Amino acid sequence: MTKESDEESDFRINVFYCTLDYIVTDMDQRFQAVKGICDTFKAILKYVSLSEAELEDASKCLVQKYSLDLSCNFVSEMLHLKKIFRSTFHSEQELTPLNLLNEIYCKKLQPVFSEICIALRIFCTLPVTVAEAERSFSKLSNIKTFKRATMGQERLSHLALLSIENKLARSVDYTSVISDFARKKARKAKLI
C-alpha cells in the first residue's frame, strides 16, 4: 500500500469530502421537501390504503393548507371516492394522481368530484415549479459571461428574466417601445 502524499490528503479533505458533504446535504434537503409535499397530499396519494379516519384527517389538513382553493366538501368527496373506487375504476391499487384525474374526466365524473379534481390539478402542477428554478440557474451561465462579469445585480436580473421569458420578449413590438422611451427621455433644448 502506497503512502498518500500531502497533496492527495489535502485534496481528499478539502475538496472531495466537502463536495460529498454538500451533495448529501442538498439531496437530503430535496428529499425532505418532497416528503413534505407527499405528507400534505397524503389524502390523494393514499386514498385506498388509509382508513376512513386517517383519510378524513389527511383531507382536512389539505383543505386547511389550500383553503382558498378547496372547501370542506373535499373531505366528503374523498370519503365517497374511497367507497366507490374499486367498483367504479376497476382497480385494486391507487391510481397515480394524473391517472386518477384522467379517469375522472374520461368517466365524466368531474361534477361529482370537483374538489378532488382541483386538488389533483394542484398536485400535478407542483413539479413544474421546481424545474423553473433550475432553468433560471442554467440560463444564468449564458448571461453572465466573462465580458459581462462587472454588471450590477439589477441588470443581471433583468437580463435573466428576458432570457427565461424569451418567447414573450420576442413578441414585443420594439419600435413602439423605442418610440415611448425616446419621447419620455427627450431633452427639451431648442437647437438654433
Integer Cα distance of 164 and 170 in angstroms:
11
Task: Give 10-residue mean pLDDT values along the chain (192 residues).
Answer: 74 84 83 86 90 92 92 92 87 85 92 93 75 54 60 77 82 83 71 58
Domain assignment present for 110: yes
**pTM (whole model) above 0.85:** no
Place of cell 441588470: 155
Range of the domain at 179: 144-185
Are 18 and 110 within one domain? yes
HSE-CB of 17 using CA atoms within 13 angstroms? 7
pLDDT of residue 61: 93
Domain assignment present for 63: yes
Tens-place pLDDT, residues 5-14: 788 888 888 8
* Phi, then psi, of 96 in degrees rounded to 5: -65, 160
How many domains does the chain fold into?
2
Domain assignment present for 69: yes
Q: From the DSSP assignment, how many helices (H) and strands (E) are in the chain?
A: 10, 0
Tens-place pLDDT, residues 96-113: 899 999 999 999 999 999
